[in-house]
Amino acid sequence: MHIVVCIKQVPDSAQIRVHPVTNTIMRQGVPTIINPFDLFALEEALRLRDRFGGEVTVLTMGPPMAEDSLRKALTFGADRAVLLTDRCFAGSDTLATSYALAAAICKIGETWGVPDFVFTGKQTIDGDTAQVGPGIAKRLGLNQLTYVSRIVEVEPSSGRLLVQRRAEGGVQELESRLPALITMLEGTNDIRRGSLDDALRAARAEIVTWNAAAAGIADLSPCGLRGSPTVVKSVFAPKPRAEKAEQIATAGTAPDEVADAAVAEIFRRLPGLEAELLS
């Protein structure tokens, strides 16, 4: 079984600073981490490999320093790491990112075998759009299973796949077929520590580094800024609200009595609200 896991290097979220003029993230001097959601995807991929055999390839598109995240992924036990890096990818929105990653996954398939699974995290903590996984699935014609909380069954011989996904108001169980792209939910597993052997191997491993040409991307027009119809016009923190929450003193001590008294007081202060809610 061949599994590709897309990971993104992101700024450590507590320290994100946005450039006041360009509205882009200022990365200089900011510590980076693997997007935390992607670790759940990686662990799920490693579990499948441990169960069924095969290989896990981790893939990232980013600047040369994104190699650090790939090396970290190798310490957890990934078998191979591919860095897609080229100036022409700079400024990519989700459309351009999914184009480049989909092309790289095709190249990975030609080089080491067509993947049965492609994993991504649910979303990133910097861009936050949750669009890249579905974008890759659409471009590669993969069955798309988003917000997956559990992989229930996999039958590699028949290609049958059963997963649970978080849906509005409950959990859906979906049957699908391989090859599939899964966007993995947070909190679904614990990333392993990785062995000493993996750490030593990761330190020495070759990170396969491709530019656009090496990834087989001949048409550069859908790449980078040129291929990105989305423009982030401004990024700002919401203004703190001036008004403070008011404490309403009520009669009674039992929780039900307090709640009833508070609701009665709110309805008294906002005439018409009760009728509006009941209509």
Ligand X SMILES: Cc1cc2nc3c(=O)[nH]c(=O)nc-3n(C[C@H](O)[C@H](O)[C@H](O)COP(=O)(O)OP(=O)(O)OC[C@H]3O[C@@H](n4cnc5c(N)ncnc54)[C@H](O)[C@@H]3O)c2cc1C
β-pair partners for 155: 160
- What is the binding site for ligand X (CB under 6 A)? 6-8, 25, 35, 37-38, 59-62, 92-94, 97, 101, 120-121, 123-124, 126-133, 230, 232, 235
| Separation of alpha carbons 241 and 239, rounded Å | 6
> What is the identity of the amino acid at 117?
F
Write down the least CB distance from residue 73 to ligand X, Å.
11
| Separation of alpha carbons 20 and 101, rounded Å | 29
Nearer to ligand X, 120 or 164 (CB): 120
170-177/32-34 β-pairing = unpaired
Nearer to ligand X, 6 or 212 (CB): 6
Helix, strand or coil, per DSSP, at residue 227: helix
Write down the least CB distance from residue 197 to ligand X, Å.
26
Write down the least CB distance from residue 30 to ligand X, Å.
12
| Separation of alpha carbons 203 and 75, rounded Å | 8
Write down the least CB distance from residue 25 to ligand X, Å.
5
Nearer to ligand X, 13 or 195 (CB): 13
Helix, strand or coil, per DSSP, at residue 18: strand
Residue facing ligand X at closest CB distance? 127
Nearer to ligand X, 112 or 267 (CB): 112
Nearer to ligand X, 1 or 61 (CB): 61
> What phi and psi values does residue 158 have, to the nearest 5 degrees?
-95, -15
Write down the least CB distance from residue 100 to ligand X, Å.
8
Show the DSSP H helices in 56-212 as ranges: 67-75, 94-112, 132-140, 196-204
Length of the chain: 279
